């Protein structure tokens, strides 16, 4: 049963594979992910070919949630997972004139049960991040509305509850809720 399982979830903004030295070296990203050895990884700021390459190297399934194209290549969020992907869906979380934001929802089969996974990239500025969090909260209701749920994502500005007010600050903690039973 899913509620008896222990698995590792990670979130990683790979910045298109670019390191602090400003070099794009996907092998470094792959090495970090190999060391973490997570069962499920939410990636942000990833190009589709990079997500595919990482999944292949790590022997994982991949689902891409593009927010837009960068030089004609899909770019956005992705999830790498050891679990079979039942289906995936992307959603728009863009705000004002800022860079397009979005998320991806996956339904995974884990221990013969559905696990709903959400991966988002909230944004750079506090106001943008808070607004995007509130939008995401409307898309992903609290756990009792879903069977088992996991959430990953990054907020580059790392707003705190005192910075974000309203539903967004309370409704999007990175959580796993395997104790809830419900219909998928």
Whether the model clears a pTM of 0.75, i.e. scores above it, the answer is no
Stronger pLDDT, 128 or 158, i.e. the higher one: 128
Residue 75: which H helix or E strand, with range?
A: strand 73-81
CB 170 within 8 A of CB 131: no
CA-to-CA dists, residue 105 to 79, 118, 120, angstroms: 9, 5, 9
pLDDT digits (tens, 9 = 90+) for 90-141: 888 776 676 777 888 888 988 888 888 888 876 655 555 565 555 555 555 4
Contacts with 124 (C-beta within 8 Å, 6 or more apart), sequence order: 98, 99, 156, 157
Contacts with 54 (C-beta within 8 Å, 6 or more apart), sequence order: 26, 29, 30, 33, 43, 46, 60, 62, 80
Residue 85: which H helix or E strand, with range?
A: strand 85-92
Domains delineated in the chain: 8-171 (3.60.10.10)
pLDDT digits (tens, 9 = 90+) for 42-89: 999 999 999 999 999 999 999 999 888 777 899 999 999 999 999 998
């Amino acid at each position: 049963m899913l509620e008896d399982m222990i698995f590792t979830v990670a979130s990683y903004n790979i910045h298109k594979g670019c390191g602090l030295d400003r070099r794009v070296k996907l092998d470094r990203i792959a090495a970090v992910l190999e060391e973490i050895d997570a069962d499920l990884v939410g990636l942000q700021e990833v190009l589709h070919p990079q997500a595919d390459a990482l999944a292949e190297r790590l022997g994982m399934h991949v689902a891409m949630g593009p927010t837009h194209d960068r030089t004609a290549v899909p770019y956005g969020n992705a999830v790498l997972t050891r679990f079979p992907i039942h289906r995936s869906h992307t959603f728009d979380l863009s705000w004002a004139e800022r860079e397009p934001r979005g998320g991806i929802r996956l339904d995974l089969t884990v221990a013969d049960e559905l696990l709903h996974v959400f991966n988002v990239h909230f944004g750079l500025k506090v106001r943008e991040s808070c607004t995007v969090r509130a939008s995401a909260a409307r898309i992903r209701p609290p756990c009792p509305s879903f069977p088992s749920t996991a959430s990953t994502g990054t907020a580059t500005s790392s707003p705190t509850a005192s910075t974000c007010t309203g539903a967004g600050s309370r409704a999007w903690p990175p959580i796993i809720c395997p104790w809830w039973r419900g219909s998928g």
